Chain A
Amino acid sequence: MAAPVSGGGRLCRLAWRRRAGALHSGAQPAALGREPGKVAAAQSGVAPWRAVVGLEVHAQISSNSKIFSGSQVQFTAPPNSLVSFFDASLPGTLPVLNRRCVEAAVMTGLALSCSINKKSLFDRKHYFYADLPAGYQITQQRLPIAVNGNLSYTLCVGAKQSQMVTKNVRIKQIQLEQDSGKSLHNDARSQTFIDLNRAGVGLMEVVMEPDMCCGEEAAAAVRELQLILQTLGSSQAIMAEGQLRVDANVSVHHPGESYGVRTEVKNINSLRFLARAVDYEIQRQIEELENGGTILNETRAFDYKLGCTIPMRDKEGKQDYRFMPEPNLPPLILYDAKSLPANIDDQQVVNIDWIQERLPDLPSVKRVRLVEQYGILPEHSFTLLNEDGLMELFEDVVRETQMNPKKVIGWVISELLGHLKQYDLTVKESPVNSLSLADLLNLLERGVISSSAAKQVLEELWKGEGKTPLQIVKEKRLELIQNQRELDQICQAVMEGHQEEL
């Protein structure tokens, strides 16, 4: 197998682009003309390749305490400061299920149109690793809490990325499980340090069927999942903090033939890298096969510096996880309104219907509402939801101004968001809040200032000096001059000052 050499990643990436481009050049992307995942063979005359991508997404459950112990869950805490005896696997300790984790999984399952299993089971998955103190992970292999769901996500396609295409990916299952600790390797001193703060944090593993066919689709699906989780509050799903981790299963085959051997790409910690890792892996497999090679069923890691995937050494060889039922946890029984026994302690049961009734509006519903209520374009509704807090900001501004929402959206997206992107800031960190933007737009709407003056004011606001738009307008004398005499005087002055030109 040709191991990617240093720098190869970038080259491959270019090749993949070029080739993909070659396939579609000429053939203008007539309505979805671009068929993602269908890749031309290097030599003409050979059947094209089709890529298949499935995902396993681990989402850390947002909860006060861990899934089977009373330790606190917190991202930034001194190493080994949030470790109960159970988390450190002291002999004789037993797991006790955290209700919040169950509810988070049920909520997520319902939001993804899963059927919720009223009875689910826990299993032990065995492997030796320094950051897995018990030598096994408690998970749900045989009978997970939710199965058979669906996730709709939307891609922007077309020359200007202006066409929206909605796609579906089937959710195979959602299982509850424990997170592992963290290993910190110091190669120079050949030491490994173990931090167990994360050990035992609740995870939802969302398994997606191989219904995607390129990195872009995978990234879009995960982005939609991320938004859903954040809307539900079942996970904070911040990828940079490891709260959302994605493993991608990738294979390629010729249409009409059975699926190829798949590889699993692990350690992907951003959406951008997900897209790149998947596309790289597709390209690598195609090249490998076209060069007469074979694909090994292996685990690979994405090296974001090199931009390529490389085989993971410590996961070599076939692992036999020796699954067995977790004997210390009886079956997890959930109830609905129909099956709920009378006279039962509410604290001891989880009621699916109760959770269903309290589900918040999902991102897809919110988008439809935005389009209907404000008359904005669908792609703008996506932008509003994609940026954390932007939708709220937009709606606040609309509420505070007389300006038409269709005009407001332009200011929010082109001007405010454009600025934020330029300085790599989040909406929360924005020096311009909804109130000052609303003030500014009101000045514009009332004809106090011109559109270009408004942009100038926004520039000033951006400095974050705490001035109101009106103050800035006054200081900079940016008002539109309504007084005829004043205008006459100005004109007169200009002409007098430029006698030669005249």
Chain B
Amino acid sequence: MLRAALREVSTALKEGQVSPTELCQRCLSLIKATKCLNAYITVTEDTALRQAEESEKRYRRGQSLGDLDGIPVAVKDNFSTTGIETTCASNMLKGYIPPYNATVVQKLLDQGAVLIGKTNLDEFAMGSGSTDGIFGPVRNPWSYSKQYREKCGQNSHLENEDSSWLITGGSSGGSAAAVSSFTCFAALGSDTGGSTRNPAAHCGVVGLKPTYGLVSRHGLIPLVNSMDVPGILTRCVDDAATVLGVLAGHDPKDSTTVQDPFNPFKLPSVIDVGKLCIGIPKEYHIPGLSSETLKVWSKAADLFENAGARVIEVSLPHTCYSIVCYHVLCAAEVASNMARFDGLEYGHRSNMDKSTESMYAATRREGFNDVVRGRILSGNYFLLKQNYEKYFIKAQKVRRLIANDFVNVFSSGVDVLLTPTTLRDAVPYVEFIKEDNRTRSAQDDIFTQAANMSAFLHNLGGVRNLCLKNIQVLLYSRQSLTSDLYKKIYVNLSKEYGFKVCIWEEASNLPTQGPIQERAEKPSLQVCTSTEHKWLQHYFLTGNAKPDQI
């Protein structure tokens, strides 16, 4: 039952073959049994069982809320969850309990989904291995597969299980491992430079990175606001489409979401890729590419060709600049976004009480790891008045060139780009940590993050991404979301050939202006008073006073 796809288990729930509570309990015990994976930071056993009970009542009354009712889901620990600790795997937010739900979390709960836990990640989602959080690295479930054991058997030095386990990729490694190890049926990740697609590729699950603006970021603790997208991890493409249907659409709390109405869709079963033109970007054929990945890449291209598609070589000439460009833009936004963590309002506060400034400094030194501090430092450097033109503005210009590469290719008649997701398969942890976080991110995001940069640009239309284990397909079209062409592609890849598919949904009109809110006489529900919220009660002060003195 736990290995079933979301849609199958949903049917089982509706037909009464299994009850939501039973399903939840089974997932919870599997989480305990697979604790060594370190996929979860917080397991919300009590609330999950309560939610399952509620769901059960609804089923009994015949008032199920839909496909997700009673389905156990997991959420990356950088999405705010009411009453549930949200840490970003950082000392800075250890013990921080948000008073509100991220929009995507709320949408899942509104559909009756059962939240069973918060998943592990790199600290503040900065990393590509899920190895750099304060709760330790996530282990790839495939480390314990028969195939991998056999492979290790051939290399005697990797025989020791303790040192041979594989990383999940990251930063949404916890979510990928959770879905891959059958402890939940869908999980939320986030994708800024490949953080959903990369671990999905390494853990063999579907990783969907929707186009920027299609899914609300409200409540997602930001890494890079202009590139962050909530990601969806599931075991098959139908499930990803189902979850996307729940999450997508305009959110008045996120001014960067598309304002056009979004119509959820189901994937049909008829297929024909005969008229497709598949582009193979030559710049993605780089020295670091493993022979294994190259082989899969060619095989995927052959599959298309054999099915009648036209496969041609294309060029994305600015690809080589994308990593360095990403690092400048990412560091700059990180420096800005992290400025709020000063120990005053929430999260960690140092005992240093000499002055406000020394308290800030100590709080931030104790709260952030080296990776985060490094990005803050370089980001602030890039934003200095004397450097702004040289770095930030230049990087923004390069970002536009990279996006234009995609526009040019797709407007030349190419329907689909076929590329690897990562250079190679997941590597053992001991291998991975030989390089630092920055070097690793530079290598591992190389095929994914150009899409994050281009997705923000207006009028690009949609870039859609499919992946077969380690292969992704970038799609683009000015056609509407549910056009037959795309249905065919999804189905072709997912059903006909059994590919693991990762789709990107199209945002046909990214907002060119923010929504403007006409506010009622009375303030919105967001308003709270200091007595209602603990986080505000302990708000204040610098100098010698401790919060309890106030």
Contacts and interface: CB of A to CB of B under 8 A. Distances in A.
B226 interface: yes
B100 A85 contact: yes
Interface in B416-464: none
B255 A95 contact: yes
B346 A350 contact: no
Given A65-B519, A88-B539, A327-B225, A94 B254 contact: yes
B231 interface: no
Given A92-B102, A133-B345, A327-B333, A98 B526 contact: no
Contacts of B524: 65, 69-70, 84
Nearest to B88: A91
A425 B92 CA distance: 54
Nearest to A347: B518
A194 B336 CA distance: 22
B262 interface: no
A90 B346 contact: yes
Contact of B100 (A90, A95, A134, A329): A90
Interface in A318-377: 320-324, 327-333, 347-350
Contact of A80 (B530, B544, B549): B530
B536 A192 contact: no
A81 interface: yes
SS of A interface (majority): loop
A63 B520 CA distance: 11
A124 B516 contact: no
Contact of B384 (A81, A82, A91, A322): A322
A95 B225 CA distance: 12
Interface string B233-258: 00000000000000000001111100
Given A64-B519, A84-B524, A130-B344, A191 B511 contact: no
Given A97-B514, A330-B255, A324 B392 contact: yes
A480 interface: no
- Select the residue from B222, B521, B526 with max chain A CB neighbours within 10 A: B526
Given A79-B530, A136-B336, A320-B385, A331 B513 contact: yes
A29 B543 CA distance: 56
Interface string A93-111: 1111111101000000000
A94 B341 CA distance: 16
B527 A84 contact: yes
B176 interface: no
A231 interface: no
B93 interface: yes
A323 B511 contact: no
A71 interface: yes
B100 A192 contact: no
Contacts of B341: 91
A196 interface: yes
Interface string B66-107: 000000000000011000000010000100001110100000
Contact of B380 (A71, A93, A322, A348): A322
Given A128-B360, A136-B339, A190-B544, A328 B225 contact: yes
A123 to B, nearest CB: 10
Nearest to B518: A99
Interface size class of A (residues with CB under 8 A): 35 or more
A449 interface: no
B383 interface: yes
A169 interface: no
Given A80-B529, A84-B526, A348 B536 contact: no
Interface string A279-314: 000000000000000000000000000000000000
A317 to B, nearest CB: 12
Nearest to A331: B513
A143 to B, nearest CB: 13
B530 A81 contact: yes
Interface stretch (B7-15, B213-221, B290-298): B213-221
Interface residues of B, number: 74
Contacts of B360: 128
Contact of B542 (A93, A95, A192, A331): A192
A98 B255 contact: no
B383 A189 contact: no
A187 B461 CA distance: 58
B526 A328 contact: no
A83 interface: yes
Given A69-B526, A194-B540, A322-B383, A94 B218 contact: yes
B156 interface: no
- Select the residue from A64, A124, A130, A347 with max chain B CB neighbours within 10 A: A130
B496 interface: no
Nearest to B254: A94
B515 interface: yes
Contacts of B518: 99-100, 347
B123 interface: no
A274 B351 CA distance: 42
Nearest to A69: B526
Nearest to B361: A128
B506 interface: no
A267 interface: no
Contacts of B356: 130, 192
A133 B511 CA distance: 28
A124 B332 CA distance: 11
A189 B335 contact: no
A91 B523 CA distance: 21
- Select the residue from A93, A128, A196 with max chain B CB neighbours within 10 A: A93
B33 interface: no
Interface in A57-74: 63-65, 69-72
A131 to B, nearest CB: 9
B517 interface: yes
Given A96-B515, A99-B519, A324-B392, A134 B333 contact: no
A102 B527 contact: no
A348 B252 CA distance: 12
- Select the residue from A80, A99, A321 with max chain B CB neighbours within 10 A: A80
Nearest to A134: B340
A86 interface: yes
B289 interface: no
A93 B526 CA distance: 11
Contacts of B380: 322
B256 A92 contact: no
A259 interface: no
Given A88-B345, A91-B80, A324-B336, A192 B541 contact: yes
Contacts of A194: 344, 539-541
Interface in B498-550: 511-530, 535-536, 539-545, 549-550
Contacts of B56: none
A128 B339 contact: yes
Interface string B336-371: 101111101110000000001100100000000000
A92 B80 contact: yes
A328 B515 CA distance: 11
A4 interface: no
Nearest to B339: A135
A93 B346 CA distance: 14
Given A134-B340, A193-B541, A324 B526 contact: no
Contact of A324 (B332, B511, B519, B523): B332
B530 A83 contact: yes
B514 A329 contact: yes
B543 A192 contact: yes
Given A88-B345, A100-B518, 13 more contacts: A82-B527, A83-B528, A91-B98, A91-B340, A99-B518, A134-B340, A191-B541, A191-B549, A193-B540, A193-B541, A331-B513, A333-B512, A350-B516
Lowest 3 CB-CB distances: which A-B pairs, in order? Answer: A135-B339, A70-B524, A322-B383
Interface of A: 63-65, 69-72, 78-86, 88-100, 102, 124, 126, 128, 130, 133-136, 189-194, 196, 320-324, 327-333, 347-350
14 contacts: A82-B527, A88-B536, A91-B340, A91-B341, A92-B222, A96-B514, A97-B517, A128-B342, A128-B360, A130-B342, A189-B545, A327-B256, A331-B512, A349-B516
